Chain A
Amino acid sequence: MAKMSEKLVGDMKEAIRNGDSEAAKRAADLAVSEGIDLTAAIKELSAVMAEIGERFSRLEIFLTDLMMSGEAMKTITDVFAPVLRERKLSIARIGKIVIGTVRGDIHDIGKTLTAASLDAAAFEVHDLGVDVTPIAFIEKARDVGADMIGLSALMTTTMPYQHETIRLLEEMKLRSKYRVVVGGGPTTREWAREIGADEYGKDCTEAVRICKKIMEVR
C-alpha cells in the first residue's frame, strides 16, 4: 500500500511538473480507488506547486507552464474534493481572493500570472477575467466569502476603476470586510495609498507574499 501510494503521488507530482492534466487525472482517479491518504498527498503536491511558483519567479519557466501545472493540480483537487467532502475533510486553503482586470481593460497577462501564482500558493482564487465592473467584484466577494479583492489595471485610463471599486465598497459599508490589493503596469505604491487600497503588489511574487501576510493577521 505504501509503495503504491508513493508511486501514485510520484505520478501526480510528475504530471504537475509536466503540466499534463490527463496524466494527473489518471493518477488521481487511481489514488482515490486505491484509497491512499489524500490529505497527505495534497500536502506533497502543494510543495511541488510552490516549487513551480519559485521556478516561475526566477523565470526558468513561463506563464503557460505555470498555468498548465496549475490546471494539472486543479484536476487532481477536483477528483479529490468530493471524496474529502464525504469524509468531512477539506483541502486546506490559505485564503480566498476575488481577482480580475478592471472595467474597460482587456489586459490579462499580469492578472492571470498573479491568479496562477496565488493558486499555486494554495489560495482559493476566483478569477473574474477582464473588463470587470466594480459591482461584479463586490458581488463575487460576497458570494464566495472572500478575504481579499485583487484589482488589476494595465492602463492609466482604467486605473480610476480601482478607486471606483474601493469607493463602492465604502458606499455599501463593506470596506472593512475585504482587504483590497491593487496592481498592474502603471500602478504604484503611491497610487495605492492615494486611493485607499490596503496593499500594492508590484508583481505576482510580491502579490503572493502580501496576500500571505494579510491572511496571517486576519
Chain B
Amino acid sequence: MGEIAASSTEGGLRKTDGHMVAMAAELKTNYAALAKVIHLITYGANINTIYASIFGGFAGGAEGCAIVDTALSVAATLVHKAVFHCARPMHVKYVCSTFPEALWALNITGMAISRNSHLLSGSSTFTAAGPCTDMILYESAAQTIGATVSGCAGVLGHGPARSIHRDRATGLESRFMGEVSQASTELSLTSANEIVKDIIKKYATKLENPPLGKTFQESYDVRTISPTKEWSGVYESVKKDLADRGLEL
C-alpha cells in the first residue's frame, strides 16, 4: 500500500526512481512481492531487487552465497522483471555484509555478472558498526572498493548498526561511500585487493560486538543538517588513512 501511495510523478516516487522489490532468502518470492511488481509494471517504473543470501544458512558458505547471489540476478530479472540487482551475503550471526567471506562472494558475483551478462548489479553495505565510528567507514570502504572494481554499476547506501537500531543512520557514511566508489574506479584489481585486505584487519575482530556509535541526532546538527565536529573529524581521519594507503578521495 505504501508503494502505491508513494508512486507519483507529481512529488512522489517517479518512474525513474529505484523501486525496491525484495526476494526472500533463498530465492523465494511471494504474492505481496508479485503484487508490487504488477503495480510497478503498470506504473511504468524501474524495478530494483534487494536481496541477502544468508551466510551460514541454506546458501552455506562463501561459495554458496556467491552462486545464490549470481542466480538472484537471473531470478529477479525473470520473475520480478527487475533491471537492477543489489545482492550481498549477510552473516547469520553478525547480521552484516562486511565480513571477509561476504566481500569475496560479493566481488566474485559482481565479476561474474559483469563479465557474462548485461545485467546491472549494485552494492549496498550493511555495517555492524553505527554512525560516528571509524569502524562504519572502514566497513563501508572495504565493501565499496571491492564492489566497484568488481564491476558493480552503482552503490546504494547503508544499513548501519545492523539496521535494527532506531535513528542510527546519517548521510555522511553514504556520502563517504560515494566518494570511495568514485576514487576506486582508478584502482586495479590487485591494488584494490591489497587495500581491502589491510582495511579488513581494522574491524574484522569487532564484528561480533561492534560499536553502535551515535544516533542521527547526536551525530548531526539537526538545524543545519550537517555532521557534528566529532563525526566530521572521524570522517577526515579515515579519509586521510585511506589516502595514505593509496586511495585518495
Which A residues form the contact surface with B (CB < 8 A)?
Answer: 56-57, 59, 62-64, 104, 106-107, 109-110, 113, 154, 185-188, 203, 205
Contact = CB atoms under 8 A, between A and B. Distances in A.
Given A64-B58, A107-B25, A113 B165 contact: no
- Which 8 residue pairs are nearest across A and B when measured between Cβ atoms? A109-B57, A62-B60, A63-B57, A109-B54, A203-B93, A106-B30, A59-B56, A62-B56
A185 B60 contact: no
A64 B60 CA distance: 7
B114 interface: no
B5 interface: no
Contact of A59 (B32, B58, B92, B95): B92
A62 to B, nearest CB: 5
Binding site secondary structure of chain A: loop
A140 B83 CA distance: 43
A59 B93 contact: yes
B171 interface: no
Contacts of A57: 93
A111 B247 CA distance: 42
B163 interface: yes
B183 to A, nearest CB: 32
Contact of A113 (B24, B57, B164): B57
B211 interface: no
B164 A187 contact: yes
Given A62-B57, A107-B25, A109-B57, A203 B164 contact: no
Interface in B15-41: 24-26, 28, 30, 32
A109 B164 contact: no
B61 interface: yes
Nearest to A64: B58
A59 B164 CA distance: 23
Nearest to B31: A106
B129 to A, nearest CB: 16
B25 A109 contact: yes
A109 B26 CA distance: 8
Contact of A63 (B28, B56, B164, B165): B56
21 contacts: A57-B93, A59-B92, A62-B56, A62-B57, A62-B60, A62-B64, A63-B56, A63-B58, A63-B60, A64-B58, A104-B32, A106-B28, A109-B25, A109-B57, A110-B92, A113-B56, A154-B24, A186-B163, A187-B164, A203-B92, A205-B93
B164 A186 contact: yes
Contacts of B93: 57, 59, 203, 205
Nearest to B64: A62
A74 B61 CA distance: 25
A86 B103 CA distance: 55
A48 to B, nearest CB: 20
B164 A188 contact: yes
A107 to B, nearest CB: 5
Given A109-B54, A185-B95, 6 more contacts: A56-B56, A63-B92, A106-B28, A109-B25, A109-B58, A203-B92
